[in-house]
Amino acid sequence: MQLDPSVVLVSGGAGYIGSHAVHVLKTAGFTPVVIDSLVNGNLWATRGASAFRKGDIGDAGFVRTVCDEFRPVAALHFAAFIEVGESVKAPEKYFMNNREKARVFFDTLAGKGVRNVVFSSTAAVYGEVTESAPIREDRPTRPVNPYGQSKLDAETHLRSITGVNSVALRYFNVAGAEPDAGLGEAHFPETHLIPRIVLPLIDAPEAVQSALGLATGFKIFGTDYPTRDGTAVRDYIHVMDLADAHVRALRYLLEGGKTDVFNLGSGAGYSVKEIVEAARTTLKRSDFKPGVELRREGDPATLIADSTKARDILSWRPERGVEHMIDSAAAWHRSPTYTDTILKKATIASS
Ligand SMILES: NC(=O)c1ccc[n+]([C@@H]2O[C@H](COP(=O)([O-])OP(=O)(O)OC[C@H]3O[C@@H](n4cnc5c(N)ncnc54)[C@H](O)[C@@H]3O)[C@@H](O)[C@H]2O)c1
């Protein structure tokens, strides 16, 4: 089968990161074809795609049909479940979706001659981190929850397929939005720090805040960590910088690059207090005073990526800082699309 060198299959393209990647792919001249079961995604998030087919990555017949129809030269694989806490309560759900279905997906693609795959991996594959130095790709991988393990298993399987070149992008904390393209994060539940700070500060509708458990106000967990200001330091990157990294990884593979793994992060990290300060300034809310709670068990002091390899090999550099993440997230969270989506998801969850 003659493949179309512009067509890229995007699994999970109706989700947060996948939809932004589709936007950047299109701008870069590719023809992104989204497949998504919509188990957690949103139909509106697929409108930037060249085509959308609803279906499950674990359905080999469906994946084959889409490959026959569009003849993609490569795939970006985002489809997965993403909640660490839920994975601890329901490990089988995570191993089924993130590992077993990913295996079916990768094997089916290989059978159709799709030999270039970029995989959304995660910092969770590294497991417990006690050191504060930035994490390199050669650090041992010892996941401590089923989410991280299921993603690592999928990574390992992908690497083992003969004739397929792949890039696993291990990313840390992702934030921000592209409101001008009508895109942003609409997770339900929402466990990520930046939306949980931003939504109350922009006075999001009460029904949205209470559906997301934000009515009690934002709290900092732990102010006695051995970090520059006592609060935990994490690595945040803007979703558009991340999308850009995916396109760079894709080009790397299409130009003959070999299978590899890259960490993606800012390299510096931001403390919770720095995020709070940035939110105060960016959103002009000097009155914002978060509460303080004790540390949560198992939360490391510092978790930041060493992205030197991605800089050297993919020439990737994150360009958008934390103010941009907060500002773009705020604009997105004010949109009726976001509000309607959360209220609909809350109604479904309670019915
Ligand atoms: N959000 C983060 O901060 C973060 C951090 C590190 C890694 N990641 C990884 O990035 C990827 C995307 O994350 P996201 O935040 O965009 O998640 P998301 O939930 O917004 O998007 C995932 C999409 O995959 C779809 N999907 C799930 N299972 C499917 C299946 N079996 N078949 C077809 N479609 C399916 C969902 O409907 C959804 O649209 C995931 O693989 C995740 O592990 C995310």
pLDDT value at 256 more than 80: yes
Token pair belonging to 224: 């006695």
What integer pLDDT is reported at residue 215 of this predicted model? 82
Each residue of 286-327: pLDDT tens digit?
A: 999 999 999 887 788 899 999 999 999 999 999 999 999 999
CB 10 within 8 A of CB 49: yes
Is the CB of 36 inside a 6 Å radius of any atom of ligand 1? yes
Ligand 1 atom having least distance to the Cα of 173: 3
**Would you please indicate which residues are annotated as catalytic (active-site) residues?**
147
pLDDT tens-place string over residues 44-83: 999 999 999 999 999 999 999 999 999 999 999 999 999 9
Q: What pLDDT does residue 298 have?
A: 75
Span 108-127, pLDDT tens digits? 999 999 999 999 999 999 99
Residue 54, class by beta-carbon neighbours within 10 Å (0-12 exposed, 13-18 middle, 19+ buried)?
Answer: middle
Q: What's the pLDDT at 129?
A: 86
Q: How many CA atoms lie within 13 A of 78 on its CB side?
A: 28
| Run of H or E including 277 | helix 272-282
40 close to ligand 1 (CB < 6 Angstrom): yes
Question: Whole-angstrom distance between the N-terminal and C-terminal Cα of the chain?
Answer: 46
Between CA 71 and CA 273 the distance in angstroms is 48
Looking at residue 112, its pLDDT comes to: 97
User: According to the model, what pLDDT value does residue 128 have?
Assistant: 85
Summarize the confidence of residues 173-188 as an average pLDDT. 97
Write down how long the chain is. Answer: 351
Residue minimizing CA distance to atom 32 of ligand 1: 56
Closest CA to 173 of 270, 300, 103: 270
- Say what percent of the chain tops pLDDT 70: 100
Taking a C-beta distance cutoff of 8 angstroms, is the pair 201, 283 a contact?
yes
What CATH number does the domain located at 179-233+269-303+327-350 have?
3.90.25
Q: Which residues contact 74 (CB under 8 A, 6 or more apart)?
A: 8, 9, 114, 115, 116, 117, 118, 250, 253, 254
- The ranges assigned to domains in the chain are 4-175+237-265, 179-233+269-303+327-350
- Which of 22, 78, 105 has most ligand 1 atoms within 8 Å of its beta carbon, as the pocket-test mutant? 78
The dihedral region occupied by 165, where left means phi > 0, alpha psi between -120 and 50, and beta the remainder, is beta
What's the pLDDT score for residue 170?
98
Q: State whether CATH 3.40.50.11540 applies to domain 4-175+237-265.
A: no
What is the gyration radius of the CA atoms in the chain, in angstroms? 20
Would you say the CB of residue 147 lies under 6 angstroms from ligand 1? no
Distance CA 117, CA 9 (A): 9
Residue 131 has pLDDT above 90, yes or no: no
